[in-house]
Structure 1
């Protein structure tokens, strides 16, 4: 048989990129019944423009609709409506061609692309829902203020613009179906995408702007849950007929049971990512937006529709999220600006049965809010997805209290019957919910890990405080000990000098007893402080050693989170493989054994990790209790040392006053010594103001008795007076420096003077009275 050579397939040469006047066509962004939208980029400036061109062969009605869209877009200017631009001169159409529409390029794609991501299978995250709803509501209200109905609100007609700083802005596009309201604000043309179409539009009835409310409500429900509200797997004709017969004003969804029975409900179904306060408020709002009859839809309103006012109150809600580390439950509370943290703790006590005095709130940084401060400490501006506050019991943590998230019913059925062959739609639902469960489990454990880390950081803060206090009491005690040693040395010297000159008759048993008592007290206090400081240093060192182990624990790192993340990625891979199944293969039935193994692996790993993290948390709580018990003891010791230092200063001052009094009385007993060398009669001169009351009294009486004798013998004792002046100056210097050693003073002149003349008994009595 003759064999022909195998033909060689030549690669198709790349098509040249269109270029006009420096503008290069980048790519096609989309196409529809009217025409195509392409992205053009300037070669030099990198400026971009999205250029929408319509087909030239449109019928007269559609040509008018196209011209109306261009005209409307050029009149609009709003942050959440795509901005129309001037068509660059090189790209302008010929005179006989329909006009082009140039628009800003939104690089983030459309909302349908976002909703189609696997992570949004059960709805978008709370922060993303807030942003979408706020931005779309703003754009719709703006159009209505310009007397324009969009009439085709759907995820494909909402695009994302990524601003500087990572902020995402959602904008309305495609006003091809938009219509200016006439004088009666009523229209009757049939337009829009059927799945999001209001009932009156679907039935070709007369309508108003409330058709946008229905479409908006349908879109919001899909953002929250990941699917449309009314029998999303059925075509519009089927679900319209089914829902119309049975829907009440409060119903916001219709779903089909496994038995085939259709039910209607007034709630937002789980799973989703919204906290309970938002769920409750959005349910009420959706009941307003998804009313079958247009009368009353949106709530009416004179100047502004009620639905927009209600939406503002929902989106502006300040919510504090508190994760109970004992149960794993998340509590979310709407709060007011003037509310205190203590009032939040009271609300927690009612719901968790944990008394306020046992509660300990922590931020992820390990710091705790001020209970007497405003609750705004616990609330962050929307924009952060994990503004959690962690709730601990100060005394213990109990693993048995932890509440595991239940498996979705569909996933339970899949696990119970892993070999059962299922059609593609059922497997897609069970796979999507399985991935969501694995992802949520990893995220929930991540929050537990953050709470554990907050507890660790809090403990490290306490440890740092404890270390500083221990250093502070050691330093304070060293200072005190040095001052006490100096004081004791000075006191011992004074007592020795006192004993040496006591034979002269200058004695005071009261003063000497006081000195001995002071000596014993200072020695005892120093010993007590030393024992306390050593005990605290030892306890601190022991705690420092205990604190090393939790910091080295594997639970102080992120490895465990990565293990659950890996399992969630496995579930994602299986889900994506299923979604990418060719259309012709979707007719075959398949089992779900692979996904069942992944889900069971997730549950097993979760149980082990939760047990480990609670064991870790228990150790942290016990260590925190030990540190908190030690801290007040250290603080009390520090306060005692400071008080002892003050008392030591008072002892020193008292001792100096005793010495000063002793010297003064002795000098007054020296014949010829007079406070007034100028010869003034001292009987009429008041005692000096600087003397103590007791010393002043003794001096005054003695001076009256010895004034004449002192006048006679003044010259004889001039030397004694001079030496006393020097001594008095030294004593005054002692008062300015409380811990100067008095050993340097020369006391011999007193003995010399007293050997000359004094009366031993009278001097002793005078000293005792003065002291």
Structure 2
């Protein structure tokens, strides 16, 4: 072991990577990170474009004792050993050090660690973005917890405790299709323990360290469970759970006094005192199902007693939570979103009952459709999972999938969206100060930052609700087109069926009329069959004509339900090509983020003299974004209300189609009766009469074929005989209605029922 003087001499001779521009084919691009004990630099191969992150240990002998230098050198050697041992997708891999750097490592006497380069930066960088000040989206949170949970579980299976879990040690590797691979890095504080041993040295970062690390008591891998729980809470809410930014002693005291089910502290806006909570604060961007699951999980991993933090079961539980199949329901009427868990056995009826418990819309009045306009299958769980959640990459992209909801029984109209926002007390108080006079919050820099932080949350909600309405309008347009096409097909099929029936009716009436014309003096040979036979037939024919009149009304109504839009106000093609978020809206949201970002980066002593000394600027920015969103939403709702009314009308018309089809089946029974009557009482009797009275075979044949000609010949008005029986009453009306029906043409493109002779 070298003494401090020898190490000092060696250090003076060392070449540090961050001081070099290139080594043979390798060029230094930038310094990725620099700390007390090491620096990390990015290098790229000029020939192959390969990129490497190289970590080099550095110890200033003038700052550290011999004992400390020895300890950190051993820690460095251990990190390299552990990194090379691991083979986990979510842990940064140690790579073979290129031969060009080997000599430098030998000359310095301290090895250089070559690692994968993750170009997305670290999680702290993501959390520091202004838009994420109140937490990340549910998709991001799910992926981080699932992937980093897998990495920690991998370490624990090898009896390795990381001991320094924090956002700075989670890096991002962008992948195709907007996917991100999250990786755990920096095993400098990692320690290998057997399942029955523990450690008692303090390492890690205070804000994320388990309480037992401060008490110099032995600890196990459960310290990682605590740190992981703190990270989980922070990525959901944007802050740490227990008295963030307070002195360590106060934080430890608050943790020690909390009850087992307490997962965070909250600050009372009025008195400034803190209280404990068993729930994740409402200022977040995750759904109710995921929130409820995480609350139960946090109650386990944030236990003061290390033995009750779930051990390795905690990581199996987080895997189970993040693998749940979730759908998000967006209610058009209330701008409300809520989430529900599904599986392959979930039925539409069951889903509607769950929706009723959240929305108070009874199942029969619920109209549901996907964002691509598709309708929901009765086996909705199977439909969603097989269509969108397989394969795995699709699950990560689409979970949760969004389903739009509106109430069939109520008209849809614009409502002031800001009434449905989750408005923190601080923001509500700020906006109520309508005269722009400072209410006192501006006197405290930290208080002002918190109010503006909550304002960013409100602005992000506003943009999200606009995006939901914008996408819902697109979905509604697609769904209307699909439903309209279905109505076209159903009407086409129905029209063809009706034509077959009415052709038979027309033929039958012509035959009966022909029979009457040839024998007017005896009532159309009415004596040949009983009155009780003919009267029911005539009455049913009359009922059929009345029914046909109702059907004509159905087809006429199809044309009237098609909505008319003012093309100057709304161009469908332009709307479908428009972005999810209006550019002007995005600009105003960006202004709010920039204002908050400038305030939090400003020194406390400088903010009083700036435009950020009170809430006036933020009030103006929020009011600007509210006014713009209200204007845009009113335009969209003017179209949305028409489309939803169109969907209601389509539903009614399709129900009419269904009713007419059911009635048609009943009429088919009469069709059989009519055919039997015609054959037995008219056609057969006429054939017999022709045979009895004919003088030649030619004449007989012509008389027999006369029945066939009836189906094609046009009706000619006969000389009107003296009114007799009820034949004229029926057939004059029947003939007129038959001609009216035959003059109709159905345009299936526009659902228009046209008169050909007008």
TM-score by length of 2: 0.75
1:610-625 equivalence runs, <5 A: 618-625=641-648
Relative distance call for 1:86 and 1:215 in structure 2 (3 A) is: same
Q: 1:395 and 2:409 equivalent?
A: yes
Q: 1:179 and 2:180 equivalent?
A: no
Relative distance call for 1:633 and 1:283 in structure 2 (3 A) is: closer
State how far apart, in whole Å, the 1-side matches of 2:259 and 2:80 are. Answer: 40
Deviation at 1:139, TM superposition (A): 0.6
Q: Which has the larger radius of gyration?
A: 1
- In structure 2, the residue matched to 1:409 is 425
Q: Which of 597, 605, 608 does residue 576 from structure 1 map onto?
A: 597
State how far apart, in whole Å, the 1-side matches of 2:56 and 2:476 are. Answer: 60
Relative distance call for 1:161 and 1:365 in structure 2 (3 A) is: same
Q: Which moved more, 1:275-284 or 1:591-600?
A: 275-284
Contact 1:543 1:627 (8 Å CA) reproduced: yes
Aligned residue for 2:406, secondary structure, equals: strand
Q: 1:24 and 2:47 equivalent?
A: no
Deviation at 1:133, TM superposition (A): 0.7
- In structure 1, the residue matched to 2:557 is 539
- In structure 1, the residue matched to 2:174 is 162
State how far apart, in whole Å, the 2-side matches of 1:579 and 1:534 are. Answer: 70
Deviation at 1:148, TM superposition (A): 0.8
1:579-598 equivalence runs, <5 A: 579-581=600-602, 585=606, 590-598=613-621
State how far apart, in whole Å, the 2-side matches of 1:373 and 1:438 are. Answer: 38
Deviation at 1:142, TM superposition (A): 0.8
Deviation at 1:24, TM superposition (A): 2.2
Q: Which of 204, 218, 228 does residue 192 from structure 1 map onto?
A: 204
State how far apart, in whole Å, the 1-side matches of 2:567 and 2:658 are. Answer: 26
Deviation at 1:57, TM superposition (A): 6.3
Deviation at 1:56, TM superposition (A): 7.0
1:259-278 equivalence runs, <5 A: 259-278=271-290
Q: Which moved more, 1:552-561 or 1:427-436?
A: 552-561
State how far apart, in whole Å, the 2-side matches of 1:309 and 1:356 are. Answer: 36
- In structure 1, the residue matched to 2:360 is 353
- In structure 1, the residue matched to 2:379 is 373
Q: Which of 48, 65, 69 does residue 75 from structure 2 map onto?
A: 65
State how far apart, in whole Å, the 2-side matches of 1:190 and 1:39 are. Answer: 31
Cα-to-partner distance string for 1:630-676 (whole Å, 9 max, x where unaligned): 33435555676788789779867865676567657987999xxxxxx
Relative distance call for 1:30 and 1:423 in structure 2 (3 A) is: same
Deviation at 1:68, TM superposition (A): 1.0
State how far apart, in whole Å, the 1-side matches of 2:462 and 2:571 are. Answer: 20
Aligned residue for 1:383, secondary structure, equals: helix
1:509-588 equivalence runs, <5 A: 510=528, 531-532=549-550, 534-544=552-562, 546-548=563-565, 553=570, 557=575, 562=582, 564-581=585-602, 585=606
Relative distance call for 1:230 and 1:364 in structure 2 (3 A) is: same
State how far apart, in whole Å, the 1-side matches of 2:332 and 2:210 are. Answer: 46
State how far apart, in whole Å, the 2-side matches of 1:667 and 1:215 are. Answer: 106
Deviation at 1:469, TM superposition (A): 4.4
State how far apart, in whole Å, the 2-side matches of 1:666 and 1:413 are. Answer: 100
Deviation at 1:374, TM superposition (A): 4.3
1:102-113 equivalence runs, <5 A: 102-113=114-125
Q: 1:223 and 2:244 equivalent?
A: no
1:304-453 equivalence runs, <5 A: 305-370=312-377, 372-377=378-383, 381-384=395-398, 387-397=401-411, 404-415=420-431, 416=433, 418-419=437-438, 420=440, 421-453=442-474
- In structure 2, the residue matched to 1:46 is 49
Cα-to-partner distance string for 1:415-457 (whole Å, 9 max, x where unaligned): 4365354444333222221122012112123223444544444
Aligned residue for 1:295, secondary structure, equals: helix
Aligned residue for 1:435, secondary structure, equals: helix
Deviation at 1:623, TM superposition (A): 3.9
Relative distance call for 1:215 and 1:532 in structure 2 (3 A) is: same
State how far apart, in whole Å, the 2-side matches of 1:327 and 1:245 are. Answer: 42
Q: Which of 264, 268, 272 does residue 253 from structure 1 map onto?
A: 264
Extract unaligned runs of 5+ from structure 2. 1-17, 62-68, 390-394, 716-758
Contact 1:281 1:314 (8 Å CA) reproduced: yes
Q: 1:234 and 2:249 equivalent?
A: no
Relative distance call for 1:250 and 1:633 in structure 2 (3 A) is: closer
State how far apart, in whole Å, the 1-side matches of 2:546 and 2:127 are. Answer: 71
State how far apart, in whole Å, the 1-side matches of 2:690 and 2:266 are. Answer: 110
Q: 1:633 and 2:656 equivalent?
A: yes
Q: Which of 110, 122, 132 does residue 120 from structure 1 map onto?
A: 132
Contact 2:160 2:190 (8 Å CA) reproduced: yes
State how far apart, in whole Å, the 1-side matches of 2:273 and 2:659 are. Answer: 72
State how far apart, in whole Å, the 2-side matches of 1:593 and 1:742 are. Answer: 85
State how far apart, in whole Å, the 1-side matches of 2:664 and 2:568 are. Answer: 34
Deviation at 1:346, TM superposition (A): 2.2
State how far apart, in whole Å, the 2-side matches of 1:47 and 1:385 are. Answer: 34
Aligned residue for 1:291, secondary structure, equals: coil
State how far apart, in whole Å, the 2-side matches of 1:645 and 1:294 are. Answer: 78
Q: 1:80 and 2:90 equivalent?
A: yes
Aligned residue for 2:171, secondary structure, equals: strand
Relative distance call for 1:655 and 1:283 in structure 2 (3 A) is: closer
Contact 2:412 2:644 (8 Å CA) reproduced: no
Aligned residues: 665
Cα-to-partner distance string for 1:8-51 (whole Å, 9 max, x where unaligned): xxxxxxx9983334222222221222222122222222222222
Deviation at 1:485, TM superposition (A): 6.2
Contact 1:349 1:355 (8 Å CA) reproduced: yes
Contact 1:423 1:587 (8 Å CA) reproduced: no
State how far apart, in whole Å, the 1-side matches of 2:541 and 2:306 are. Answer: 93
Q: Which of 147, 151, 161 does residue 139 from structure 1 map onto?
A: 151
Deviation at 1:727, TM superposition (A): 5.6
Q: Which moved more, 1:106-115 or 1:576-585?
A: 576-585
TM-score by length of 1: 0.74
Aligned residue for 1:270, secondary structure, equals: coil
Deviation at 1:228, TM superposition (A): 1.2
State how far apart, in whole Å, the 1-side matches of 2:516 and 2:275 are. Answer: 102
Cα-to-partner distance string for 1:49-69 (whole Å, 9 max, x where unaligned): 222122376722222211111
State how far apart, in whole Å, the 2-side matches of 1:559 and 1:57 are. Answer: 54
Contact 1:515 1:655 (8 Å CA) reproduced: no
State how far apart, in whole Å, the 1-side matches of 2:406 and 2:367 are. Answer: 5
- In structure 2, the residue matched to 1:601 is 624
Aligned residue for 2:558, secondary structure, equals: helix
Deviation at 1:153, TM superposition (A): 0.5
State how far apart, in whole Å, the 1-side matches of 2:667 and 2:711 are. Answer: 15
- In structure 1, the residue matched to 2:744 is none
Contact 1:22 1:43 (8 Å CA) reproduced: yes
- In structure 2, the residue matched to 1:292 is 304
Relative distance call for 1:256 and 1:539 in structure 2 (3 A) is: closer
State how far apart, in whole Å, the 1-side matches of 2:178 and 2:317 are. Answer: 28
Deviation at 1:386, TM superposition (A): 5.9
Relative distance call for 1:326 and 1:401 in structure 2 (3 A) is: farther
Contact 1:550 1:616 (8 Å CA) reproduced: no
- In structure 2, the residue matched to 1:758 is none
Contact 1:161 1:168 (8 Å CA) reproduced: yes
Cα-to-partner distance string for 1:452-483 (whole Å, 9 max, x where unaligned): 54444444444333444455555566666667
Relative distance call for 1:649 and 1:57 in structure 2 (3 A) is: same
Q: Which moved more, 1:448-457 or 1:425-434?
A: 448-457
